[in-house]
Every structure is written in structure tokens, then in C-alpha cells.
Amino acid sequence: MVRFTNKDIIAEIISASIAGDLVLASAYAHELPRYGLETGLTNYAAAYCTGLLLARRVLQKLELDGEYEGNVEATGEWKLF
């Protein structure tokens, strides 16, 4: 779920059940200044960064963040599958 307000962006991953909703993780755009993004906290770029922050938190919570190392060195090469 993503919500845009006048001063913030809220992103959450929620699981719905009969007993009630369970929030797996959440991230807010007002948290982005501690990662270096100081201005424009309600635009689409901030929404993208908030989504990345949320994805990172979910991967850490599910202990999947160490499964794939990712690109260590940026070479500019890409592959089309």
C-alpha cells in the first residue's frame, strides 16, 4: 500500500486476514534525509526511494538480504533477457 500526503509518502506491505491485518514492514519518506535525500520528499523520486527502503527492510526481516550479493563494481554493461 502506498499513500501520498501533502508532506509525506507512506509505503507498507500488508497481509490481510479474517483475524486482522498484519503489517510486515513500512517505510516513510520523512526517513529519507538520514540516507542523504534532503529535499523533494513528496515527489516520484522520493516515492521510488521509499519503495527501495521498504524492499530492503522486508528482505532483512525475511533474512533474504544476504542471498544475492548484487553488482559490486559498476561497469556499465547490461544484459537483455
Which structural domain range is residue 10 located in?
Answer: 2-61
The answer as to whether 55 is a domain residue is yes
Q: What is the pTM of this model?
A: 0.81
Closest by CA to 42, choosing from 81, 80, 4, is 4
60: Cα separation from own chain's centroid: 12
The count of domains in the chain is 1
- Residue appearing with cell numbers 513500512: 26
What pLDDT digit, counting tens, does each position of 7-33 carry? Answer: 999 999 999 999 999 999 999 999 999
The answer as to whether 42 is a domain residue is yes
The answer as to whether 56 is a domain residue is yes
